[in-house]
Amino acid sequence: MPKFVFRPPIISLAAASVLLPITSSVQAEDTFTPRWSFANVSINYLDWSDGTEERTADNAAKGDFFYLELEGSVGFDWGEFYGFYDFENPQNDTKEEDGRDNRRSAAKVTSHIYLGETPFSLYFHVYDFRDYGYDSEEQDRVVGLGYRHTFDNGLWFKPFLGKAWVESQSGGYSGENGYMLGWVLGYDFEAFGENLSLTNWHEQTFDRDDDYLSRNYVNGPAGSVGTNGAVALWWHPVEAITTGVQYRYSNNKLGTADHYQNAMIYTLKYNFL
């Protein structure tokens, strides 16, 4: 930030008219200068467990699929933003004979707007899912409080708690939908001379609306508590490439009531920022 020195009022209006735009420009540039950022594009294969495919065969059936993802994040002095866009089954038609193979999309944007110099933040979260073959759309929105902390060993942890709303075209329900407690965390380390990292994202929804739970699950109603997340191990062989494996888990989510679902995701990323 520029340092200002008080001067007696002998500066002419003409001089002030030159200095003020420069000062405003410097302040705006500093405010919107990223302190950190990353971006990547990846190809992914999600492989549902045999048990999951059996348990969901007549309950929002799950099938393996490829997807392309664009992911990025940026941080400023006053806040940070993260987002991704997934294009599922890009090689398939919009509507396939087996509905599990339909072309789909998923997108998510989250943000922490810092509350001054404290580790607390205003948290905002939007998730949008669309199955084009079934003409199905659902968007979840969360507004609440977040927290940010990095431990001495380098582990970083960002939990949040917020009020949830949902807009569901397929289920015909729009309105309040309980609460969401969640977090993202990560830890970078070295092993066998290689750069590795562990990450976890987790979402726990609770006190969800009964009407939503009966309308939006194949064999509903689902339980009011839903679990969603993934644990990942990443390998960074060079700066431009990241590859990894994720354990994906959920319960009372993804359209399936009362059944645990799990999968492995195999990922190759190209980091361009």
Which pLDDT does position 31 carry in this prediction?
87
Instruction: Give the containing element (helix H, strand E) for 20.
Output: helix 13-31
| Averaged pLDDT, 68-86 | 98
Which pLDDT does position 170 carry in this prediction?
74
Which pLDDT does position 169 carry in this prediction?
83
Cβ–Cβ under 8 Å, residues 114 and 78:
yes
pLDDT tens-digit readout, 89-114: 999 999 999 999 999 999 999 999 99
User: CA nearest 70: which of 29, 105, 41?
Assistant: 41
Whole-number Å distance between alpha carbons of 60 and 88:
16
Return all residues near 65 (Cβ < 8 A) that are at least 6 apart: 45, 46, 88, 89, 100, 101
- Rounded to 10 degrees, the C-alpha dihedral 169/139/243/187 comes to -150
User: Does the structure show a pLDDT above 80 at 119?
Assistant: yes
Cβ–Cβ under 8 Å, residues 234 and 243:
yes
Whole-number Å distance between alpha carbons of 218 and 256:
6
Which pLDDT does position 191 carry in this prediction?
97
Rg, Å, the chain Cα set: 23
Length of the chain: 273
The share of the chain scoring above pLDDT 70, in percent, equals 90
pLDDT tens-digit readout, 137-183: 999 999 999 999 999 999 999 999 999 999 998 778 899 999 999 99
Cβ–Cβ under 8 Å, residues 135 and 102:
no
Residue type at 2 in one-letter notation:
P
Which pLDDT does position 26 carry in this prediction?
59
| φ and ψ of 75, to 5 deg | -130, 140
pLDDT tens-digit readout, 26-68: 566 788 899 999 999 999 999 999 999 999 999 899 999 999 9
Is the pTM above the cut of 0.85? Answer: yes
| Averaged pLDDT, 202-225 | 92
CA 120 to the chain's CA centroid? 19
DSSP letters spanning 61-92: ----EEEEEEEEEEE-SSEEEEEEEEEESTTS
Which pLDDT does position 25 carry in this prediction?
61
Which pLDDT does position 59 carry in this prediction?
87
